[in-house]
């Protein structure tokens, strides 16, 4: 099986290294310092006291790698338009594109999902439908990642905790290709599960991080401090109730209360959100996939989202001032 990792950052590198340890040949699209490190040292995965390096075939040019059976796209949402422009040489008629990304993806309303919004294109995440044209939904299997990883250095991934991947067809069908992919991931030691509605898993994860991420951008605070402030936690809960109503309108009802979700976040302790890490590293932030998308879905579904709007306005203004949006 020809497997390509497009985006050898923390999550893409983690999945790629796990697959490589099963004997799978791994191709990687990379550039700059990451490309140089992969060519020189291979892909390294560190976890606790363990450190394993695996050889990979890395190139900056997707056409040098050719058509793949599986392409794992693990980039931050702001990088996706550039990936879409260059991914064509990797895609054949039967290529699977596994999207291991945060936030609402471009294919979210495909596969008959979305109630009254089924089949709609979300301008917030795919302006003009350019991503959908480059990576049609028929190629896609969605993926929600429940793991914490970071880069120690280019090509060197450190796995902190969590080992979960939830995958699923946008249609919700348990297709042969989805089952085969599930077996591949499980065989690599990943805690992989097949979802009957991957959009629900995407939405539930989003429900927890669409607030603390931009608030960490605004404040620089870790999640424990964010939730410890009664007023901030109340603001977060109000936004979550808006998103909960949006979800109910499009077919992803959530039974939990905001406080239920806060309890889950608290169990992770004091940590920096991925958005705060991006800010500190000077990387573009994922506001559109995490917040703008919810606002657009609310508008289309007839749900008022004034608190979500306020958070988006404040966060994008701050991000623009930092040159990260």
Choosing from 130, 205, 244, 272, the catalytic residue is: 205
Extract long-range pairs of 147-154: CB within 8 Å, 24+ residues apart.
Answer: 147/11, 147/14, 148/271, 149/10, 149/11, 149/13, 149/14, 150/10, 150/277, 151/9, 151/10, 151/13, 152/46, 153/37, 154/32, 154/33, 154/34, 154/36, 154/37, 154/38
Please give the structure tokens belonging to residue 75.
Answer: 């980039």
Rounded to the nearest 10 degrees, how much is the dihedral formed by the CA atoms of 263, 265, 266, 267?
90
CA proximity to 166, closest of 132, 134, 196, 130: 196
Does the annotation mark 267 as catalytic? no
H or E segment to which residue 58 belongs: strand 57-59
Q: Are 9 and 184 in contact (CB under 8 A)?
A: no
H or E segment to which residue 46 belongs: strand 43-47
Q: Please provide the DSSP assignment of 144-190 as one string.
A: EEEEEEEEEETTEEEEEEEEEEEEE-TT----HHHHHHHHHHHHTT-
DSSP assignment letter at 298:
H
Tell me the C-alpha distance between 134 and 213, whole Å: 29
Q: Cite the active site residues.
A: 205
């Amino acid at each position: 099986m020809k497997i390509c990792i497009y985006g050898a950052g923390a999550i893409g590198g983690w999945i790629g290294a796990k697959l490589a340890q099963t004997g799978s040949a791994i191709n990687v699209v990379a550039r700059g310092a990451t490309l140089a490190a992969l060519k020189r040292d291979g892909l390294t995965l560190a976890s606790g006291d363990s450190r394993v390096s695996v050889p990979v075939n890395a190139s900056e040019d997707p056409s040098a790698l050719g058509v793949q059976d599986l392409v794992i796209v693990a980039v931050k949402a702001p990088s996706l338009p550039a990936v879409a422009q260059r991914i064509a040489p990797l895609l054949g008629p039967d290529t699977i594109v596994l999207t291991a990304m945060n936030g609402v993806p471009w294919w979210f309303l495909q596969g008959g999902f979305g109630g009254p919004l089924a089949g709609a294109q979300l301008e917030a995440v795919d302006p003009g439908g350019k991503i959908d044209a480059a990576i049609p939904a028929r190629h896609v299997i969605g993926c929600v990642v429940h793991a914490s990883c970071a880069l120690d250095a280019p090509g060197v991934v450190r796995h902190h905790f969590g080992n979960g991947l939830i995958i699923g067809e946008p249609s919700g069908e348990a297709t042969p290709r989805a089952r085969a992919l599930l077996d591949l991931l499980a065989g690599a030691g990943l805690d992989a599960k097949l979802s009957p509605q991957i959009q629900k898993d995407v939405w539930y994860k989003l429900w927890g991080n669409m607030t603390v991420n931009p608030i960490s951008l605004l404040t620089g605070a870790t999640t424990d401090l964010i939730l410890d402030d009664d007023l901030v936690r109340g603001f977060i809960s109000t936004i979550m109730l808006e998103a909960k109503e949006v979800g109910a309108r499009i077919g992803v009802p959530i039974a939990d209360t905001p406080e239920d979700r806060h309890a889950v976040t608290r169990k992770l302790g004091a940590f920096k959100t991925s958005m705060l890490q991006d800010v500190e590293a000077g990387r573009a932030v994922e506001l559109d996939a995490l917040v703008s998308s919810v606002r657009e879905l609310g508008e289309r579904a007839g749900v008022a989202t004034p608190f979500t709007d306020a958070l988006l306005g404040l966060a994008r203004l701050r991000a623009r001032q930092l040159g990260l949006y």
